[in-house]
Chains A and B, each alone.
Chain A
Amino acid sequence: AQSVTQPDIHITVSEGASLELRCNYSYGATPYLFWYVQSPGQGLQLLLKYFSGDTLVQGIKGFEAEFKRSQSSFNLRKPSVHWSDAAEYFCAVGAFRAASKLTFGTGTRLQVTL
């Protein structure tokens, strides 16, 4: 069975500081990995995805993530956080063929202090 672990429930960073959100997955085959962001009262917006190829993927809003197969990790990073980045971040793993069954982590809530 596939699973995703986001070990940090809540993270607080200062505006302008760097950010890394951790994600570890368990999946029996080649995983398809995603990061989504959810602002309060909103749906989920795709930040980036990894299917294959270059293990460092670039996403929207200045985010990037690195796939490390040996560590079963797909951590999300941003070099300089903006106050508008405060939100809930979900890592998800899916199967082949359009990731028809996504398994989400429990999310990391990011708070940004000015």
Chain B
Amino acid sequence: DAMVIQNPRYQVTQFGKPVTLSCSQTLNHNVMYWYQQKSSQAPKLLFHYYDKDFNNEADTPDNFQSRRPNTSFCFLDIRSPGLGDAAMYLCATSRRGQGDNQPQHFGDGTRLSIL
């Protein structure tokens, strides 16, 4: 089945130690998104890629970066994680085209803990 896969499901890192979260997709979607979801809150969009074009949300901290080396993969890099960055990180994909209004498909998320 075509899907969105996030690895790892659980990630523990130390305060200030860089961490990378991974997302891959077999849907061949041209848009990939990263969301941050804190406990009992709605997902908050950090940024998205439309093909190779990176679109950062205005309030996303500089500590968060992303890479999309090819259509299938997208990475979230947190350069110096703080305690406030502990959250579930969700990757999503969608297809954008003329008149093609497809919904976003989500992975199961990576739960990040900071020690």
Contact = CB atoms under 8 A, between A and B. Distances in A.
Interface stretch (A16-24, A79-87, A99-107): A99-107
B101 interface: yes
Contacts, number: 61
B76 to A, nearest CB: 14
Given A98-B101, A101-B45, A43 B90 contact: yes
Contact of A98 (B4, B31, B45): B31
Given A41-B111, A44-B90, A106-B42, A100 B96 contact: yes
Contact of A32 (B43, B45, B55, B101): B101
User: For this complex, into which size category does the number of interface residues on chain B fall?
Assistant: 20 to 34
Given A90-B42, A100-B50, A106-B41, A49 B108 contact: no
A23 to B, nearest CB: 12
A37 B103 CA distance: 14
Nearest to B4: A43
User: For this complex, into which size category does the number of interface residues on chain A fall?
Assistant: 20 to 34
Contacts of A99: 94, 101, 103-104
Contact of A107 (B6, B42, B101): B42
Nearest to B10: A41
Interface in B22-63: 31, 40-43, 45, 48, 50, 55
Contact of B48 (A42, A46, A100, A106): A100
A45 interface: yes
B95 to A, nearest CB: 6
B107 interface: yes
Contacts of B106: 36, 43-45
Given A42-B109, A106-B41, A107-B42, A49 B96 contact: no
Interface of A: 32, 34, 36, 41-46, 49, 51, 90, 96-102, 104-107
Given A100-B55, A106-B42, 9 more contacts: A32-B101, A43-B108, A44-B106, A97-B96, A98-B96, A98-B104, A99-B94, A100-B50, A106-B41
